[in-house]
Amino acid sequence: MNQPTSHSDTPSAENLAAHGAVVQQFHPRARVALENPQIRRNFRNAMDGLMSKRRSAFEGWELETLRELGANIRQRALANLPDLLEQLEKNLTDNGVRVHWANDGDEACRIVRKICVARNAKTVIKGKSMVSEEMELNHYLEEQGIEALESDLGEYIVQLAEETPSHIIMPAIHKNTEEISELLHEKTGTERSHDVNYLTASARQQLREKFMNADVGVSGVNFAVAETGTLCLVENEGNGRMTTTVPACHIAVTGIEKVVGTMEDVTGLLALLTRSATGQHITTYFNMISRPRQFNELDGPEEVHLVLVDNGRSTIYQDDELLATLRCIRCGACMNHCPVYTRVGGHVYGTTYPGPIGSILMPHMLGLEATQHMPTASSLCGACGEVCPVKIPIPDLLVRLRRESVDGDSERPSNVRGHGVKRGHLEAAAWLGWRWMHSQPWLYRLGTSVSARFRKLLPRTMGGWTRYRSAPKLAPKTLHQMMAQRSSSVRPSARMPQSSNVAQRGNLS
């Protein structure tokens, strides 16, 4: 492949309608979340702790220098993305790993199913993978009669609750210990307890048998190293290592943007990822996978597959400004510091990726028709941009997508599907009139004069703008009218002649 190509398959009308219906409910869901004190306490406590840990983890580090390094590594990789993907495919293939390409999530699901069918697999154990959530892989496999079980503790809890992750790093962060205890008791028979160690050990025991009996293991990828053909997985629980080594077949799924050039590039990104995500200096496990099990090795899978998923990423790649979105290393720091996300949680967004990163990523995956409210679900305080470890200008991209959603210039090229979806005929006519009025001085003077004279007849509400703001009130007179009246009221005799001023200065001297 010479360069990432935009996918030809677009989401079906049914899928867009379904996703759109969910995202359109953002404001009603947000109001419900704000009125739920338990949700607000859960998120407030969790986010305060994560922000504090992040600050402590970067103490003694030149944070801005490290962020600049991370941004440069990711930008360099994206600049060479087509070549790096070819290099990655070649080296992985040489190592015995089978590489597959998927235009979208549906095609990626079909590829995974084909591999499972070829091995007559009936059970799949999954490590944490946001791309698999993006693909809705669990739901797809279940429809095909293949059991898919999450092995990450947070994902396992969310799966038992029949929910989706509310955070990209900590999927069950919206639940407290009491809620988790009740859920495990109801679903697995675990005794009710507030002892976190006991609850964790119980879940681990239940999952251990699943690891040993699973036919296929599915995982995500944090970094794919092109130079060596290595898949890197970052984790804390050991479930990722079990998922990728115990089953006879391992399938890794990842977005095409996760590739980096060298192992040296991984070093700087890993230091940023762990500290930004959970406030750790290093995670418990760092897995590097380059090949299937060899004849003289005692463990590891017989087959390793990598599914590279596009799903709208090539469209982002073609836009010089929006390209920065693909730098993301999925640390979740922007979400942890977002005043909107931390008060309503991830489920309110109704999408795979919530929070600031979701608001600039999901419009490319689902189109602005389905996600038009996401770019505006932000106060534009700038916190997300300030903490992003790879310096993604998230606030600028949110503003860009807001403009895209209301832009009526059909001749301006746009790579964002749903361009201009929020622009109405009435609003377009109003702005056209505003431009015409301000380009004609006589019309401007007439319009402001008439508006000031009949200001009491003007509407007191201005759509959504005055829902949370006071409507502007016109003054009885325009500034020009007041200045003209003031000038005419000053009598010539009241003005002191210049000669008098000179005389006064002479007397003072």
Residue that terminates a domain, selected from 423, 453, 476 = 423
Q: How many domains does the chain have?
A: 3
CA distance linking residue 48 with residue 276, whole number of Å:
13
Same domain, 300 and 328: no
Same domain, 241 and 339: no
Indicate if the alpha-carbon torsion angle 133, 137, 140, 141 is positive or negative: negative
In-domain check, residue 194: no
Same domain, 415 and 448: no
Same domain, 341 and 445: no
Q: Is 350 left (phi over 0), alpha (psi -120 to 50) or beta?
A: left
**What is the CA angle 86-90-91, rounded to 5?**
120
Q: Which residue has the tokens 């396992």?
A: 156
In-domain check, residue 441: yes
At residue 289 the predicted structure's pLDDT band, cuts being 50, 70 and 90, is: very high
Mark out the alpha helices in 346-424 (DSSP H runs).
355-366, 368-371, 383-387, 394-406
In-domain check, residue 503: no
Same domain, 436 and 408: no
At residue 472 the predicted structure's pLDDT band, cuts being 50, 70 and 90, is: confident
Average confidence (pLDDT) over 458-464: 70
pLDDT tens across 178-192, in order? Answer: 999 999 999 998 999
What are the angstrom distances between the C-alpha of 69 and each of 74, 225, 274, 386? 9, 17, 15, 15
- At a CB cut-off of 8 Å and minimum separation 6, what does 10 contact? 417
pLDDT tens across 377-388, in order? Answer: 999 999 999 999
In-domain check, residue 353: yes
Residue that terminates a domain, selected from 394, 423, 452 = 423
In-domain check, residue 14: no
- The DSSP code for 413 is -
Residue that terminates a domain, selected from 286, 311, 336 = 311
Same domain, 463 and 374: no
Whether the CB-CB separation of 275 and 79 falls below 8 Å is answered with no
In-domain check, residue 153: yes
Same domain, 106 and 253: yes
Burial of residue 35, with CB atoms counted within 10 A of its CB: 0-12 exposed, 13-18 middle, 19 or more buried: exposed
**Is 147's pLDDT higher than 50?**
yes
- Find, among 200, 175, 203, the residue nearest to 189 by Cα: 203
Give the domain CATH number at 392. Answer: 1.10.1060
pLDDT tens across 190-232, in order? Answer: 999 989 999 999 988 888 888 889 999 999 999 999 999 999 9
Same domain, 247 and 137: yes
Same domain, 400 and 289: no
pLDDT at 9: 41
pLDDT at 133: 95
Average confidence (pLDDT) over 131-146: 95
In-domain check, residue 154: yes
The structure's pTM equals 0.84
Beta bridge pairs of residue 301: none
pLDDT at 422: 84
Same domain, 457 and 344: no
CA distance linking residue 412 with residue 501, whole number of Å:
61
In-domain check, residue 10: no
**Is 19's pLDDT higher than 60?**
no
Same domain, 251 and 335: no
Same domain, 449 and 414: no
Give the phi and the psi of residue 223 in degrees, each rounded to 5: -140, 135
Q: List the domain range (segments joined by +) for residue 369.
A: 30-59+321-423
